[in-house]
Amino acid sequence: MATKKRISIKDIAKAAGTSITTVSFILNGKAKERRISDAVNKRVLDYVRRMGYKPSQFVRNGAANQTKVLALLVDDIHHPFFSEVGEHMERVASERGYQVVYSNTGTKTEKIDQLVKLWMDKEVDGICMVPSEDLSEALSKIKKQHVPTVFVDSFIPDVNIPYVVSDHRKGAYDATVHLLATGSKRVGLISLYSNRVQMRARQDGYMDAMDESQKQSFIRKLNIEDPDNTIGEEIVAFIVENKLEAVLFADHYLAIHGLKAIKEQAIDIPRIVAFDDHVLFALHTPAISVVTQDTAQIAGAVMDMLTARIDGKVSENSGLIVPYVLIARESSIS
């Protein structure tokens, strides 16, 4: 099913029963200077307000009437996963004649709404974004303006926007099975308080493996906004109190704080696997095992979906799930 095209000056002119040139003069505040009637001026501006149209602030190129600019909205561009995806997207985008602009959203829905409005006002040709838990306002704007959009890393069930995600559930399952196969019986999961699809899927994958092996599960969820030392202390307490032999960290950020706290408190390090690789993990002693995402494949798939939507060639409910890769290092096999 082809996607609907976003509103253009041509659409406004047709709806208002006037010319593209006249609409352009009105949008640039030259109605009086060009002696355009009040009635025509009102029709155009009323339609513009009703449809939420904003003139582009980027230069448009060629007959396709495109800015050739794509917006990438992520939680934190310094996160290894997002920085790698962004780098691969830039490379593919450049090959296809596009530029990529970045915005950090944190995890705040309000900021995502503001940034979606910003890039829509500038009329980027497409948006790639990590969805938050409540995007009703931003999604309403995207739907109204027919902005080609693709979700990355997560998606919102029942929202017909295509997505590219890793197989978070299978990744957690494989990591947990790997830890169990080392002889560890008391395997814990350290995760975050979050309703995001990927975090729920990682917990589900861990539980799948623990249930399959008929082992007791141990889960500790932490608040990402807590002070670093508090997070570290809670991780160590969780490991010690439950006498854990192995731990799966659902986020590399948690793993780094856990390793720091383990060293400071001089407790025995359990077997460890962490989600998403980080330069510190290969340098650590022992080197930390990871389940890592294929960022090149993810970025390529995002660009394929986004440019296809820009060209009106893709179904609204398409999605792709990319397998994780388990890299076993000393932390889980020694």
Number of domains in the chain: 3
Q: Is residue 57 a part of any domain in this protein? A: no
Task: Give me the CATH number covering residue 122.
Answer: 3.40.50.2300
What does the angle CA 121 – CA 196 – CA 202 come to, to the nearest 5 degrees?
140
304-319 residue pLDDT tens: 999 998 888 866 558 8
Per-residue burial over 151-172, b = 16 or more CB atoms within 10 Å of its CB, e = otherwise: bbbbbbeebebbbbbbbbbbbb
Specify whether 136 is located in the same domain as 205. no
d(Cα 59, Cα 85) in Å, to the nearest integer?
26
Residue 64 lies in a domain: no
Whether 173 and 288 share a structural domain = yes
- Checking DSSP bridges between strand 163-166 and strand 126-129, what pairing results, if any? unpaired
Does 105 lie in the same domain as 173?
Answer: no
**Which phi and psi (to 5°) does residue 132 adopt?**
-95, -175
- Residue pLDDT, tens place only, 43-60: 988 888 887 776 654 444
Type of residue at 228 = D
In a domain, 197, yes or no: yes
CA distance 90 to 299: 9
Q: Is 18 inside any structural domain?
A: yes
Beta bridge partners of 190: 220, 249
Is 4 part of any domain? Answer: no
Answer whether residue 62 is part of any domain. Answer: no
Q: Is the pLDDT of residue 7 over 90?
A: no
Q: Which residue has the tokens 């399959």?
A: 212
- Find where tokens 């917006």 sit: 71
Report pLDDT for 103: 86
228, 257 contact by CB (below 8 A) = yes
Please count the residues of the chain. 334
Same domain, 228 and 154: no
Work out the pLDDT band at 234, boundaries 50, 70, 90. very high
For 131, the 3-state DSSP assignment is: coil
pLDDT digits (tens, 9 = 90+) for 68-96: 889 999 988 888 889 999 999 999 999 99
Confidence of residue 27 (pLDDT cuts 50, 70, 90): confident
8 A C-beta contact, residue 152 and residue 165: yes
Examine the domain organization and report whether 206 and 237 are in the same domain: yes
Structure tokens at 66: 């495109």
State how far the Cα of 172 lies from the Cα of 205, in Å rounded to an integer.
5
Grade residue 11 by pLDDT with cuts at 50, 70 and 90. confident
Least confident window among 74-78, 203-207, 297-301 = 74-78
289 in a structural domain = yes
| Domain range for 310 | 69-165+295-322
pLDDT of the residue at 62: 41
Q: What pTM did the predictor assign?
A: 0.76
**Per-residue buried b or exposed e for 127-146, using 16+ beta carbons within 10 Å of the residue's own CB:** bbbbbbeebeebbebbeebe
